[in-house]
Each structure stands twice: as structure tokens, then as C-alpha cells.
Structure 1
Amino acid sequence: MLSVEYAPHNVYCYSLDRKADKKFKERIRALSRCFSKNVFVSDEEYNVYSSGKNVSRSHLACLEKLNKRKEDWKYVVLLQNHDLPLRTNAELVRIFKAYNGTNDIATKNIVPNTVVKSLDWSLKGLRLYRNENAYPPNIKQLNHTKSLNLIVLSRAAVNFTLKQLNVYPFIDQLEKSRYGMDEEWGLFEK
């Protein structure tokens, strides 16, 4: 994957599944040492499942590590498994410039029974905001949507998510259902 999309001015983060083969993990870590300026591996490993459990946590671990780095990045593209961009790096740069700070997150109505409706999905019940005074007065309850994990987030959106929101209680609740991986970004960035 890296050989297909690598560009020296981009930064890449890999999250490793805790269940992955030890040799595979060693190879990915060795690869990150070869490209130490712009390829890194998240320190946290989660048991990631095809149902989506822990995918969000893995992405957030990379985003937190990326956000601590000094690069002046403007956008992050979240991919998983065998995803790869269908555009060249130059095309992506032009697209991101046209976005002018906008996120690219496709959403649709949530599939019935994807979310455990009996849980408290209110903003305050989820303790979604780190600052108690930051809750928007006109929004009391989350309106669930489905989004993909293949999304583009601006740096401002990543900073907002990591610094203003407390996303882990929300993810904990999502993962109480059979599937729980695609819903959060469409909600956070509305």
C-alpha cells in the first residue's frame, strides 16, 4: 500500500491489530523506521474486528499521534484494510485546496437496529463535550447517521474532535451493538 501512495511530503500512520502476526508487526515497524520522517505506527494496538469494533479507536490513536507532530498538515485521509485513493497525490492536493477547510464525509440514514436505542444518546448523557459550557443549547439528542470510515478530515476538524470532544463514551456505546464503526464521524462533524 505504501509503495502505491507514498509521497515524501505526506505523513502516514499505521494502526496495528493486536491479533496480527508478530512478524507482520515487526515488518511494519521496521518500515516505519526506514521512513522515520513521515511514516509512523500508533503505539496503541486494539483487537480490531470485521464488525468494526475498535476501528474508531485505532483511527483516533493515529490522529492523536499525528496531531502531536510538527508537520503543517491540512488534511488527513482515513483508510482501512485494502482502501487506497483513486487519485494521484497531485490530484488530491488540488481537491483539498478546493475543499478550503471542508470535510468530506458521506452520510446516510442509519440502518435500523444498528444502535442500541435504549441507551442514553443525549449529549450530556454521553459527556460528549469536555467543557460543560460548550453544549449547543438547541441540540439535546444525537440524530444518528451512518458514514464511512473512508473520509477526509481537515486539521480543524481533527483538533476539534481531539480537544473539544470526549468521544470515547460515545464509541463505547456504539460498540455495544453488533456493529459500531462508521457512525461517529458523520455525527461529530455535523
Structure 2
Amino acid sequence: MRQLEGTKCSFLLCLGMSIIICSVIYLRAGITTQPAETKTSSCRPFSSECKAFLPGTEKGVEWHRHDCQVESYILNSPLQCSNLIPDLHFITRPLSGEEEDYPLAFIVTVHKELELFVRLLRAIYMPQNVYCIHVDAKAPYEYQMAVQRLVSCFQNTFLSSRSETVTYAGFSRLQADLNCMRDLAKSKIGWRKVVNLCGQDFPVKSNLELVRYMQSKEWRDRNMTPGVKQPVSMSHRTRLQHKEIIGSHVARKGLGLKKSPPPYNLQVYFGTAYYALTRAFVDFVLKSPIAHDLLEWSKDTFSPDEHYWVTLNHVKAPGSHMDGGWAGDIRAIKWRDQEGRTHNGCKGHYVRDICIYGVEDLPWIINRNSMFANKFERNTFPEALDCLEQWHRNKVLSQATVPIDPSWLLATPSSSSSSSYSNSSTGA
């Protein structure tokens, strides 16, 4: 009888331990799979206008998007980086030796549109590059925390060590870039050139094409700061004193107080706030008395980022390009006043005289083949970014010299006709 009771006790003990172990395994499995459950299976289909840019559609291939709730995924999921990176389809290996040997640095300034930022970052992200993200100090706390959580998943991506309250056309916008430059100058990654972006940009060239463009005969060891001598119509920006109303706007001081001439009798240039700069030039910007004094002089000007970089690029400095003019196709932008001359009109709508792209603007963007396109919005014309993003990822992966990881695919094709996609693609 005692032997029977002992056997019964042993059985109950084993049964209890088995239940506990199974419960732990079940709970852990539930936790690790939870992020995937936040994603929806009902994605917005690609618009009919987009099909012209997706391979195989003329043969009956339909492209099905995988992730459509990027923002809610970041905000609502208990982030585990091991899940997030593949779930959001970030590329995790250098796609060619050519790109690995020429790492790039990126400065991205953001303040809104979390989903656009995530999609921009994954479009430009490569593990050999380095990324400094400047989040506007006035951005909502939830937004700032979401960006911080995402960035923490990547060793080569970090937040700027100092955050500015950025004002449109104010000195704070220039200071935000400089903050990131100081951080990037300390990076152990041997980046060759730095490019600045805003959260409503999106790449047109692949990373491989950017590397080749930077190393082309025209731009090897040179800066890109498109611009010309300041026109008379723009001289008020630097001739009169301005003050920045933090987080609001820039206004003139008094009734038109005049500024002193620029230091060192520099010729002031006017151009784009966007650039591609050599690392040696960045060192010059951070250390040169000329750059420092021009920066101080620029603090009470209007939109100083539109004269600072291009003016410095016309003094004797590493990578300077004295006769560059408007060369350097950095941005595809449709300005309202250039309608009919450089573009065929905005198919989306204008904000501050800049086109927010609609899907019908994509042929112009793709044919122009600039480094990046500006601007996009999620709420007004989401189909435009959906289409450009898929077109860009298809191009990036088609140029890869390494095996493609399935997690890198943003969408997958399936045949709606009798012929399979695999047969049509291999015969192409």
C-alpha cells in the first residue's frame, strides 16, 4: 500500500511539474508572438496608377502589401527589437561590397508623421551607414518616445545629443543639423559623405546609386550645395536683422534694422538647405574660424540654412565647389512658381508653394531620378508613398549581390491568371 501511495505521489508531482512547464512555454510563446498580432491583414491595395511601376502586373501579377499599421505597431506593441527589425522589413546586411566600402551618414530632422519617418528610415537604412535623428523638442512626448524606442534597436542609429525647438526659417533649423554633425564627427563608422533629410522626404535613388553618384567623376571629393550668388530679390534675408520667435515664426527686428556686412567680406550665396558634404568639409565647418564667424553672423538672418552651406562651399575649404551653380540633383521638388517650366503641375496639392505629391506625380519623380523627392503626406495622398516605396524597394533588392532575406520584402506578388509569377519572372 505504501508503495502504491508513493507511486501515486510521484505521478501527481510529475503531472504538476508538467502543467507548470507547459504553462510557462505557452505564456512565453504568447508574449513573443504578440507584436505580430497588432498588424492587420487588410492592407490598402496599390492604386491602379501604381501598376505601371510594379513588375509583372501586365501579366496578371497582383502585389500584396505586408505591413499597413506601422505607426500603431510602434506605439502599441511591446517592442522587442528581435521582432521589430524583421516585422518592419529593415534590411540587415550590406547588399554589395561597393556599398560596404563607402558608408554614408544621414541627418534626419523630424517633428511629426511618425509613420512617414519609419518608412523613410527603413528605405535609407543599411547596416554599414550611420544615422543621426534630430527630434524637434516641441514634438509630442509620445512621438519622441516612439522614435527613441525605434532608434534604440539599431547600433548605427542614434538621437541627436541636443534637441532644438525648431522654427520654420529660423536659425534653430540650421542648429539642428550642426548638432547632428558634431555627433557624427565622433562616430567610429568611417562615413564618407553626409546627407540631410526631413521627415517628409523619400529616396528615389537606391543606396547603391547614391554611392555611385557620390563617387562619380563630377562629385568625388566634392560637396553638393546647389546655389548661386544671392539675387537682389533675396538680399533682405541677410541685409536686415531678424529675430526668431521660438517655435512660431521669424520676424524682422524693428522697422528694418540693417545688419553689418558678412565676416571676411564673404560673398553671400543663396541656395537649397539640402546638401551632400564630405567628412573633411564637416570638420572644416566645426573647427574653422571662418565657419564659426559666418555662423554667428547668420543668427539674426532669415532662413540661414539656405545661405550658410552654399556660402561656405564657395570659400577655400575641403571639397569646395567654386563654380557649382545649381548642379547636384539632390531633391525633386515641384515649386508652384516653376509650374509649366520645370514640371507639369502638382497632381496633389500645394503647401507653402511646394507640392505634396499625389500618385500621378510619380512618373515625373521617377524620370527625374533625383537623390530624394519632397514632400509626402500620409493623410492626404497615401497611395503616392505606397507606390514609390514599393518601386524603390524592388529596385534596391534587384541590385543586391547577396541572397535576399524574405523579411526584406514589403510586398509579395501572386498571379491572378493561369500563369504563375515564378514562371513569368524567370522568363523575363
Q: TM-score if structure 1 supplies the norm length?
A: 0.83
- 1:13 is aligned, of 124, 132, 147, to 132
- 1:85 is aligned, of 203, 208, 218, to 203
Q: Which has the higher helix share?
A: 2
- 1:73 is aligned, of 187, 191, 203, to 191
Cross-structure match for 1:101: 221
Decide whether the 8 Å contact of 2:171 with 2:300 is kept in 1.
Answer: no
Deviations 1:114-141 (A, max 9, x none): 1135323343xxxxxxxxxxxxxxxx31
Decide whether the 8 Å contact of 1:107 with 1:147 is kept in 2.
Answer: yes
Decide whether the 8 Å contact of 1:122 with 1:141 is kept in 2.
Answer: yes
Decide whether the 8 Å contact of 1:48 with 1:55 is kept in 2.
Answer: yes
Cross-structure match for 2:67: none
Deviations 1:133-168 (A, max 9, x none): xxxxxxx31211112121100111111111224645
Decide whether the 8 Å contact of 2:268 with 2:307 is kept in 1.
Answer: yes
- 2:271 is aligned, of 139, 147, 152, to 147
Partner secondary structure for residue 228 of structure 2: strand
Deviations 1:99-123 (A, max 9, x none): 2211111012431311135323343
Decide whether the 8 Å contact of 2:181 with 2:282 is kept in 1.
Answer: yes
Decide whether the 8 Å contact of 2:285 with 2:292 is kept in 1.
Answer: no
Decide whether the 8 Å contact of 2:286 with 2:292 is kept in 1.
Answer: no
In structure 2, how many angstroms separate the alpha carbons of the residues matched to 1:4 and 1:12?
A: 12
- 1:30 is aligned, of 122, 138, 149, to 149
- Runs (4 or more) in structure 1 with deviation over 3 Å come to 165-173
Decide whether the 8 Å contact of 1:80 with 1:150 is kept in 2.
Answer: no
- 1:116 is aligned, of 217, 239, 242, to 239
Q: Mark the structure with the bigger radius of gyration.
A: 2
Cα deviation for residue 97 of structure 1 reads 1.5
In structure 1, how many angstroms separate the alpha carbons of the residues matched to 2:307 and 2:192?
A: 23
| CA 1:176–1:28: 2 relative to 1, 3 Å | same
Cross-structure match for 1:57: 175
Partner secondary structure for residue 148 of structure 2: helix
| CA 1:84–1:168: 2 relative to 1, 3 Å | farther
In structure 1, how many angstroms separate the alpha carbons of the residues matched to 2:229 and 2:290?
A: 24
Aligned residues: 173
In structure 1, how many angstroms separate the alpha carbons of the residues matched to 2:285 and 2:202?
A: 24
Cross-structure match for 1:134: none
Decide whether the 8 Å contact of 1:105 with 1:186 is kept in 2.
Answer: yes
RMSD: 1.8
Cross-structure match for 1:180: 304
In structure 2, how many angstroms separate the alpha carbons of the residues matched to 1:4 and 1:81?
A: 12
Decide whether the 8 Å contact of 1:77 with 1:152 is kept in 2.
Answer: yes
In structure 2, how many angstroms separate the alpha carbons of the residues matched to 1:44 and 1:51?
A: 19
In structure 2, how many angstroms separate the alpha carbons of the residues matched to 1:38 and 1:178?
A: 34
Decide whether the 8 Å contact of 1:15 with 1:42 is kept in 2.
Answer: yes
What amino acid maps onto 2:213 in structure 1? I
Decide whether the 8 Å contact of 1:77 with 1:153 is kept in 2.
Answer: yes
Cross-structure match for 2:347: none
In structure 1, how many angstroms separate the alpha carbons of the residues matched to 2:285 and 2:299?
A: 19
Q: Give unmatched runs, 5+ long, in structure 2.
A: 1-119, 241-257, 315-428
Q: Which has the higher strand share?
A: 2
Q: Give unmatched runs, 5+ long, in structure 1.
A: 124-139
In structure 1, how many angstroms separate the alpha carbons of the residues matched to 2:285 and 2:296?
A: 16
| CA 1:174–1:81: 2 relative to 1, 3 Å | farther
| CA 1:24–1:166: 2 relative to 1, 3 Å | farther
* Higher RCO structure, 1 or 2 (CA under 8 Å, sep 6+): 1
